Structure formats: structure tokens, C-alpha cells
Chains A and B, each alone.
Chain A
Amino acid sequence: MTGIRELSQWRSLTRDGDSRARYQRMLQRADRDIASMLEIDVEKGFSSVLGQNSPHLQGIPFSVKDNIALSGFSFTCGSKILEPLVSPYHAGAVQKLLSAGAVPVGKANMDEFGMGSSTENSAFTVTRNPWDLDRVPGGSSGGSAASVAAGLVPFSLGSDTGGSVRQPAAFCGIYGCKPTYGRVSRYGLAAYASSLETIGILSADISMMEQVFHCISGTDERDQTTWEAVPAYQDEQGSPTAAVISDLEGMDPEIRRGYERTLEAMKSLGWKITEVSLKSLKYAMPAFYTIACAEASSNLARYTGIRYGMRHSTSAAQEEMVRMTREEGFSAEVKLRVLLGTYVLRSGFQDQYYLKAQKIRTRMKQEFDMMFSQADVLLMPVYPVQAFKAGDEGMTPMQQKVADRYTLPANLAGLPAVSFPAGIESGLPVGMQLLGPSCSEERLFSLIRKLSEVIPPPELPVRLGAEEEADD
């Protein structure tokens, strides 16, 4: 299954000038209600294509989260402070897709600098969940997830700092891949928390996701934290062992049902299930936010309005100009995290916060090492609740941070995790994830493909108009 369309159908949307112009109109119309995209320009995207190295991806359209550099397109990171910025360069992952022949059609909305779980914290627009317009698509890659779930594109590049690919994928009923840290170049991903985040993939089709992963992974000399990975477990032999956490708490009943359903599917496939404990899990949230905010306070220091982006119209001297630009350009949530990060990095206080968080992180890595010496994968829900309501009826920022606890461990430990749809409850998708040891993406894809045969992915609330397509 390839969303609504077969590969050839996707390809036909970008085939010639007329098709692209028609596709452009279809996208604009289909995106009107969900507002998944900040910029749509099929023709400009087509003219950025650099080659046609891949028979699989050639001509296939995709969207790109707006914190990933796509030359000639907006590069706002969902922030007012970068509103006027047009990227002067391509991200490493984007460049690989362009060389493969894939066609970027636009930039996807997101929570400002990736800080949020609902895509309501974008400076520009609130993206809606195609399943229910009153609900959020998740975040921070909510625009990416919505654009895929609404059938606008077959896949999207997002970024996952603490669950920002997997959680919106779960909210929108699609697949989300957060690769091993260092397997996909971060060059061109505007940094929020450098040591935690990776570029990730959102797709309604596990095979498509696999193709894209194959294309964008590998070393990049411009990102020296990438390394040539030897993929673990190419071939499946025997039954895998899945770990589950014995005392997993706090799931909503709908999520619990999806979790149980997945366990049943695993058993029906003959997988062995083993119960484990992850003691450091309860410290994941404070450790994550300590490190993420610390890195953010430094990463976001470059946004001053001096060299690019928004500049406050004051005639004041540079120090004051920078202060006013940041005051106006950043939202309250961004300021909160920058301030927290500045606080935890103060000299004399690092032992208490930053270094303690790093110790928890090391401890968590050790626990995972132990776990994956006994099990092949770990099953966890993605998020304790389904897509929540937008606005005041939804979750507070603090509730959202607490709810990130199932997704944060993969980022803290640098491990791969792939989320997948595990059925529909109360009319909305439920998402689960498999985590694996370093470089086990190939195995995760293959195991999830098997699970999807037992729990078929849902029919998506596709919005890309078929009438218009039939016009010619």
C-alpha cells in the first residue's frame, strides 16, 4: 500500500509542467483546511532536482519540515525570527533525495524550532489533524505528518529531537522513523538539541520509508558525527524476542488497547516476549529537558537579526537591537527553554543539573545495552494519549513534556525507533513504536512490515482532490 496512490501515480503528478501546475493547485486546495505546509511550490521543487539516481524515488514528491534546508525555499523553523529567510543551501539528506530524483513540493509547518508536541506553537499557522480538524496533528513535525496523512505527499522529512517524528506519525496514523544518531546527516537541520536530534522520515508506506532511509543514510563529510554504519541484522532467522517494560504506566485506555493488540500480533507471529525494566525511564524527562534546553540556549544564540532573518526596526545600538529582535522574534516557549538552558549551564551549577542529566543519559544507554543483549527490540507506546484537542481543551505545555516519556529514551540513547499505526480506537489512530540497538533500522522495518500484515495500517483521511486530477 502506498497511501492512496501507487508509485507510478505519484510520479505522474510531477511528470510534466501541466501535471505539476495541476498538482500545485490540488495541493493548495487540499491543504486549505489542515494548513500542513508553509510554502508550496511544485515547479520550484522540480527545478531543484539534481539527478535521477534512484528508480524507486525518481519523480516521487515529498515535503520537508521547515527546519531542514532546501535551497531557494523558506527556512523559518516555524519562527518569526527567521520569517524572511530563504535557505542558501541544501541539507545533506535533502541533497541525497534530490540526486535520487525525488521532487520536493514545499516546506511543512512545525512547532517553533521543534519545541512542542502539537504544531500549535508555530509562529505562522496552526496545523490541523486530517483525522479530525479539531485535533492537533502532533508535533513538532506536525506539518510533515499531516501532509502525508492527508495524502498530499507519500513521504516527508521531519526531525526527531524527543519524539517529534514518531508522535505526530502516531497521531496521524502513519509510520515514523527516528534513525540511529549519526546514521543520517544532520547537516542542514537547524539545531535545537544537537546531541539528541536526527532527521527522520514520515510515510504511510513502510517500503517507501525503507527506500528513503536507504537513500538519506550514510556518511556526510559536512557532519562529522555521521559514521558508516554496518546495518545490524539484514536477514531474519528464527523468531525475534521483543522486550516489554513490566511496569509501564500512564497509558490512556485507547493506547492500552493498541498496546495489547500489538502484543497479541507479536505472539501470533511466534515472537518471544520478555519483560524487562527500564529504571532510568522515570528520569528521562528531566534529563532530556536539561540537556535539550542547555544545547538550545547555545544553538539559538545565533539568531540576532544581524546577518539574516528578522531584524527589529529599532535604530538602537547593536546590543539593544539584538535584544529587541530576540524579544520580538521568539515565542514564550522558546524563551523559556533558552532561559532554562542558560540557567543549567551556569558555571558552578553544572554538577547539579547538566552533568547530572548526562549521568542519567549514560545510565540509560547502559540499561539499553543490557536490554538488547537479551532482546532484539523493545515495544513501547509512542504517546500516552491519542491526538488531543487543539487550543485550551488540549494539553498544557507541561503535560505535553511529561507525556514525551516514551519517546525520549531513544533520543537520549541515540538508538533507532520506528513508530507504526496499531489500529483505530474511538475513530482515531493509535501509535506504537519498536526500539532497537544501534543501526537496527533495517530489522525494525522488516519486523514492522510483519506486524502490519496482522494489524493493517488504517485508511487515511486523504484530501488531495481526485476530481481535479480526473479533469484532463
Chain B
Amino acid sequence: MTDVFIGLEIHIQLLTRSKVFCSCPSGFGEEPNLHVCPVCLGYPGVLPALNRRALEFAYLTGLALKCTMAKRIHFDRKNYFYPDMAKNYQISQFHAPVGVHGNMDFDAEDGRKTIRIHDIHLEEDAGKMIHGSGKSLLDYNRAGSSLLEIVTEPDFRSGREAELFLQEFRSLVRTVGVCDGNMEEGSLRCDANVSVNKPGKGLGTKVEIKNLNSSRFVRKALEYEIRRQSRLLRTGRAIIQETRLWDEKRTRTEPMRSKEEALDYRYFPEPDLPPFCPDEQFITKVADMLTELPISRYDRYRETWELNEETARYLAEDVSRAEFFEQSVEQGADAKLAASWIKGELTKLQAKGEFSFSRRTVDPQGFSSLLRLTDAGEITAQQAKEVLQVMAETGGDPQTIIKERVITGGLDEQQLRDLASAVISQYPDTSAQIQGGNMKALGFLMGSIMKETGGAADPKASRRILLELLGIDLTK
């Protein structure tokens, strides 16, 4: 039996157009050393000029994480030598961060849980160093990008909890619009620290784990590390305070070179940047930027429309999807039907690259009228899928599409027409009876068409074409 304490240190790259202290664009995957200037290359004489947008995003994140927001912040220098850091110090926040004492809710396996946030602070990113064939190569494109670090208290009890939290966190920062949350590309990065101790003994010796490139790795690494530390504890051996790296291939953590630890960062206030005190206007602006958080949407979807957990979560976790859903309901779509179609067909179309919730070819209005037509039995579900496909391709509205491209259950209008005339010539007597007013006889001709097509022909379309060919206009 052991107590487990896990804390996370999450870095998010803010979606600012330019870097945090210079005007270079911040971007991913460009040609190496394309987005650099004297400032982010640390030339003599350059000074940092703080990006206003980064500051807004930092405060916005703090607001979303219910932090106590600082009335006055300043930056500090974190001094250490590393080649991918152009100045050999990182401008960060140590003494007066943007926000402290926050918290965030998420759903763990055993229900809702609140994780305390220790602090969030704004800093600059480093470049990248690539080692290979006796050479080290440096790319400073990322150097100086705006980075926000979020430090949680050691409130997690298992790797799975940390994983679920990270998923919720990712969804939160994407929803708020401060980060694209891409762990593979490194715009969301996570280090974990874990300590294991005998029950009731409080925090044990803290071990940090780095190199966690997905939330799944976070879980696996933590589970491994908990097993490792518990074993040490059980057998009475010492747990060393150290930093370990997750090795995904070997599925285990390995100690990092001890040389890079035990650094004294010699923090001191950054003299090149004046302190920032948010004024009323700034605070109002940031507050206006805050949107509803995914977990609150989730709760609302569960309560208002009684969606199941999985569907509610699926809709709530992505802001453009959630907005599409809510707008469709506003346009009169049945919530459950809309939810299921969004989760099914629209997501399928999105996966195929034919539709996107953020850049929509199908708008909620068209989508909801399509669902209404389906609901009313005007078209079958199968037909609705086809119409939706056409809507995604052309951006047209469902009524027009149904009118223009008659839905024929896999047959096109002409094929169905040919088939109907064939049936009429085959049964001239029945046709005459119909023309004479015996509408029941129409069922026989319809049945023949169904037989020919193995039931694929659309009944409404068949009926319409038969009547048209027989020269009967029921509207008169």
C-alpha cells in the first residue's frame, strides 16, 4: 500500500502571431532558422519588447483556470547555459507570475475531481538542437516563442488521472483559443513529477519525468514510475531525487544525465522589461475573451438535452463542434438527433477532409432543416446522408439538392424513369386502371419497380415518376 502524489508542469505555446519578445512570426515546421532576428538570436544590444497579445492570452488562461490574477507582474531571468537558448538565460517569471492558486475540474474515472493550480507564468521558448553524426545543429525558429507554463499541485493519484486531466486541459486551452494543443508538434508539452510514500506519510522523494509527447505516454510513464518507486519502497531501498526520461521504445524511465540537474538558476528581476500592472481596460478585454469552458458545456448538454456522457463529452471538447451543435439546435434540430449526426456523419465527412466544423460548408441552418426532413419521413436516413454529402461538397441547402438531384436510392432519375416506362408498357391494363382512377392499382406497378431494383428504388420518387408518366396530376 502506498500513497501516490503526481503533479504536472505543462507548457503551452500561445497562439500569438509573433514571438513573445520580437516581431518574428511564431510558427511550426518551417525551414530552419527562417524566423529569426537579432532579438531572438540574442545579438549584443537587443532588448525584449513584450508582446501584448501574449500577455492577454496568459491572463485569459489564468482566468479560465480560476487563478488569483496578479495586480503587478514582472519577469525574471533564469540563468543557465544551453546552446538552443540564444542569450543563455530564459526570460521567465519566478517572483511575480501572472496567476497563482487556481484550480481546474475534470472527470476522473471515479467522478469529478478538482486539481489545484500552483501558478501560471509567461516565458520564452528555446530553439531546438539536433544531434547527429558528430555534429550538433541548431534551429532558432522556435526560440523566443511565447510559452505559458502551468504548474499543478501534486493532486493526481494515478497515471490515468493525469491522462484524463491532460485531455480536459487540452480541450480547455483549445476552447479558450490560446493554444492549438498539439502534443505531437510540441505546442503542448508536459513534464510530470511523482512521489510515492507509505500511507499517511505525506509527500515522498520527488522524481521528475520528461520526454512525454502524448497524454498516453504520460499515463504509461507514471504507471511505470509508480511501480518502480513502490518496489523500491517495499524493499526498503532509497528513492533518489532525480530527473528521468521516458523511453517509449523500452517502455520505461531512465535517469537523465545528472549533470543537467542541480542547476542554480540565479533568478533575478529582468531589468529590460518594466513591471506590468493590468488596468481596468485590460481586465475587461480579457474577461470578454473568455468563453464557456468544455466541462461546463458538458454539464449543460447532460442536463439540458440528456445526452449520454460520451456524446456530451465529444461535443463539448471541441469548441467549433460544440458551437455547431448548439446553433443547429437553435435552428430547430432535435438535440439528440443532431448530436448523433454530428458524432456520426459530419465527423466522418470531417475525417475524409470534406467538411470542417470551423470552416463550414454545411451550416447549422441547412443541417437542421435536413434533420427535420428526415425526422418528418420526407427522406430516408440513407438519402439524408447522400444529401449531406452533396451539401458538404457544394455548400447548397438540402431542399434545393433534393429537388435538383432527385434522390433515387442509388438509381439516378433517368434510370428510374426508364424502369417506370418499362413497367407501364409491361402492364398496360393496370396502367389504364390507374388512369381510370383506381389508385390502388398503382401499388402493383410500384411493387414491380421494387422487385426489379431489389427494393433499392425510392418509393416516393417511383410514385412521382409513375404518376407523371401516366399523366396523372393529383394536385388538381
User: A-side interface residues toward B, CB under 8 Å?
Assistant: 67-69, 75, 77, 82, 85, 87-89, 91, 186-191, 194-195, 221-225, 294-295, 297-298, 301-304, 306-308, 317-319, 322, 342, 345-347, 350, 354
Bound CA–CA A301/B86 (angstroms): 9
Contact of B47 with A298 in the complex, beta carbons under 8 Å: no
Contact of B266 with A346 in the complex, beta carbons under 8 Å: yes
Min distance, Cβ B213 to any Cβ of chain A, angstroms: 25
Bound CA–CA A194/B272 (angstroms): 7
Contact of A322 with B264 in the complex, beta carbons under 8 Å: no
Between A and B, 29 residue pairs with Cβ closer than 8 Å are: A68-B45, A75-B45, A89-B38, A91-B45, A187-B47, A189-B45, A221-B49, A222-B47, A223-B272, A224-B47, A224-B272, A224-B273, A295-B271, A297-B79, A297-B266, A298-B89, A301-B89, A302-B44, A302-B88, A304-B81, A304-B88, A306-B138, A307-B42, A307-B86, A308-B41, A319-B81, A342-B266, A350-B268, A354-B268
B267 within 8 A of A: yes
Contact of B271 with A194 in the complex, beta carbons under 8 Å: yes
Min distance, Cβ B106 to any Cβ of chain A, angstroms: 34
Q: Given the complex, which residues of B lie within 8 Å of A224, measured CB to CB?
A: 47-50, 272-274
Q: Which chain A residue shows the least CB distance to B87?
A: A302
Contact of A298 with B268 in the complex, beta carbons under 8 Å: yes
Contact of B266 with A88 in the complex, beta carbons under 8 Å: no
Q: Give the interface centre of B48, B79, B267 by most chain A CB atoms within 10 Å.
A: B79
Contact of A69 with B44 in the complex, beta carbons under 8 Å: yes
Min distance, Cβ A444 to any Cβ of chain B, angstroms: 25
Q: Given the complex, which residues of A lie within 8 Å of B38, measured CB to CB?
A: 88-89
B469 within 8 A of A: no
B136 within 8 A of A: yes
Q: Given the complex, which residues of A lie within 8 Å of B86, measured CB to CB?
A: 302, 307
Identify which of residues 45-64 in chain B touch chain A, using a CB-to-CB cut-off of 8 Å: 45-50
Q: Given the complex, which residues of B lie within 8 Å of A91, measured CB to CB?
A: 45
Q: Given the complex, which residues of A lie within 8 Å of B255, measured CB to CB?
A: none
Identify which of residues 373-399 in chain B touch chain A, using a CB-to-CB cut-off of 8 Å: none
Known A-B contacts A223-B47, A308-B43; A318 and B83 likewise in contact (beta carbons under 8 Å)? yes
Q: Which chain B residue shows the least CB distance to A77?
A: B44
Q: Which chain B residue shows the least CB distance to A309?
A: B44
Identify which of residues 262-286 in chain B touch chain A, using a CB-to-CB cut-off of 8 Å: 264-268, 271-274
Q: Mark B74-118, 1 if CB is under 8 A from A, else 0.
A: 000101010100111100000000000000000000000000000
Q: Which chain A residue shows the least CB distance to B270?
A: A194
Known A-B contacts A345-B266, A346-B264; A318 and B47 likewise in contact (beta carbons under 8 Å)? no
Bound CA–CA A348/B79 (angstroms): 15
Known A-B contacts A302-B86, A345-B79, A350-B268; A225 and B273 likewise in contact (beta carbons under 8 Å)? yes
Bound CA–CA A222/B50 (angstroms): 9
- With beta carbons under 8 angstroms apart, the residue of A82, A294, A295, A350 that contacts B44 is A82
Q: Given the complex, which residues of A lie within 8 Å of B274, measured CB to CB?
A: 224-225
Bound CA–CA A318/B266 (angstroms): 23
Contact of A188 with B45 in the complex, beta carbons under 8 Å: yes
Contact of B44 with A67 in the complex, beta carbons under 8 Å: yes
Min distance, Cβ B39 to any Cβ of chain A, angstroms: 8
Q: Given the complex, which residues of B lie within 8 Å of A88, measured CB to CB?
A: 38, 43
Bound CA–CA A22/B246 (angstroms): 69
Q: Which chain B residue shows the least CB distance to A85?
A: B44
Contact of A301 with B45 in the complex, beta carbons under 8 Å: no
Q: Which chain B residue shows the least CB distance to A323?
A: B81
Q: Given the complex, which residues of A lie within 8 Å of B49, measured CB to CB?
A: 221-224
Q: Given the complex, which residues of A lie within 8 Å of B47, measured CB to CB?
A: 186-187, 222-225
Q: Given the complex, which residues of A lie within 8 Å of B268, measured CB to CB?
A: 294-295, 298, 345, 350, 354
Known A-B contacts A298-B77, A306-B138, A345-B79; A89 and B266 likewise in contact (beta carbons under 8 Å)? no
- With beta carbons under 8 angstroms apart, the residue of B79, B83, B271 that contacts A306 is B83
Bound CA–CA A69/B136 (angstroms): 30
Q: Given the complex, which residues of B lie within 8 Å of A187, measured CB to CB?
A: 45-47
Q: Given the complex, which residues of B lie within 8 Å of A304, measured CB to CB?
A: 81, 83, 88
Known A-B contacts A347-B266, A347-B267; A89 and B83 likewise in contact (beta carbons under 8 Å)? no
Contact of B79 with A298 in the complex, beta carbons under 8 Å: yes
Bound CA–CA A30/B38 (angstroms): 35
Q: Mark B19-49, 1 if CB is under 8 A from A, else 0.
A: 0000000000000000000100111111111
Min distance, Cβ A289 to any Cβ of chain B, angstroms: 15
Min distance, Cβ B301 to any Cβ of chain A, angstroms: 45
Min distance, Cβ A357 to any Cβ of chain B, angstroms: 11
Q: Given the complex, which residues of A lie within 8 Å of B48, measured CB to CB?
A: 224
9 more A-B residue pairs beyond the given contacts A68-B45, A297-B79, A322-B83, with a C-beta to C-beta distance below 8 A: A87-B45, A187-B45, A188-B45, A188-B46, A195-B271, A223-B49, A224-B47, A307-B41, A307-B86
Known A-B contacts A88-B38, A222-B49; A347 and B264 likewise in contact (beta carbons under 8 Å)? yes
Q: Given the complex, which residues of B lie within 8 Å of A354, measured CB to CB?
A: 268
Q: Which chain A residue shows the least CB distance to B41?
A: A307
Bound CA–CA A67/B43 (angstroms): 12
Bound CA–CA A302/B40 (angstroms): 11
Q: Given the complex, which residues of A lie within 8 Å of B46, measured CB to CB?
A: 89, 187-188
Min distance, Cβ B188 to any Cβ of chain A, angstroms: 28
Q: Given the complex, which residues of A lie within 8 Å of B138, measured CB to CB?
A: 306
- With beta carbons under 8 angstroms apart, the residue of B42, B264, B265, B273 that contacts A302 is B42
Q: Given the complex, which residues of B lie within 8 Å of A87, measured CB to CB?
A: 45
Bound CA–CA A368/B370 (angstroms): 77
Bound CA–CA A301/B271 (angstroms): 15
Bound CA–CA A91/B42 (angstroms): 14
Min distance, Cβ A50 to any Cβ of chain B, angstroms: 18
Q: Given the complex, which residues of A lie within 8 Å of B264, measured CB to CB?
A: 346-347
Contact of B44 with A89 in the complex, beta carbons under 8 Å: no
Q: Give the interface centre of B46, B267, B273 by most chain A CB atoms within 10 Å.
A: B46
Bound CA–CA A304/B273 (angstroms): 24
Bound CA–CA A44/B243 (angstroms): 54
Min distance, Cβ A135 to any Cβ of chain B, angstroms: 30
Q: Given the complex, which residues of B lie within 8 Å of A189, measured CB to CB?
A: 45
Contact of A301 with B83 in the complex, beta carbons under 8 Å: no
Q: Given the complex, which residues of A lie within 8 Å of B272, measured CB to CB?
A: 186, 191, 194, 223-225
Bound CA–CA A88/B46 (angstroms): 11
Bound CA–CA A261/B48 (angstroms): 46
Q: Given the complex, which residues of B lie within 8 Å of A318, measured CB to CB?
A: 83, 136
Q: Which chain B residue shows the least CB distance to A306?
A: B83
Bound CA–CA A171/B268 (angstroms): 35
Min distance, Cβ A183 to any Cβ of chain B, angstroms: 14
Bound CA–CA A299/B268 (angstroms): 12
Contact of A89 with B79 in the complex, beta carbons under 8 Å: no
Q: Given the complex, which residues of A lie within 8 Å of B136, measured CB to CB?
A: 317-318
Q: Given the complex, which residues of A lie within 8 Å of B273, measured CB to CB?
A: 224-225
Min distance, Cβ A45 to any Cβ of chain B, angstroms: 18
Bound CA–CA A451/B265 (angstroms): 50
Bound CA–CA A318/B138 (angstroms): 11
Min distance, Cβ A421 to any Cβ of chain B, angstroms: 30
Q: Given the complex, which residues of A lie within 8 Å of B81, measured CB to CB?
A: 301, 304, 319, 322
Known A-B contacts A306-B138, A346-B264; A75 and B44 likewise in contact (beta carbons under 8 Å)? yes
Bound CA–CA A358/B77 (angstroms): 16
Bound CA–CA A350/B371 (angstroms): 69
Bound CA–CA A345/B268 (angstroms): 8
Bound CA–CA A89/B46 (angstroms): 9
Min distance, Cβ B358 to any Cβ of chain A, angstroms: 33
Q: Which chain B residue shows the least CB distance to A223?
A: B47
Q: Which chain A residue shows the least CB distance to B38?
A: A89
Q: Give the interface centre of B45, B46, B136, B271 by most chain A CB atoms within 10 Å.
A: B45
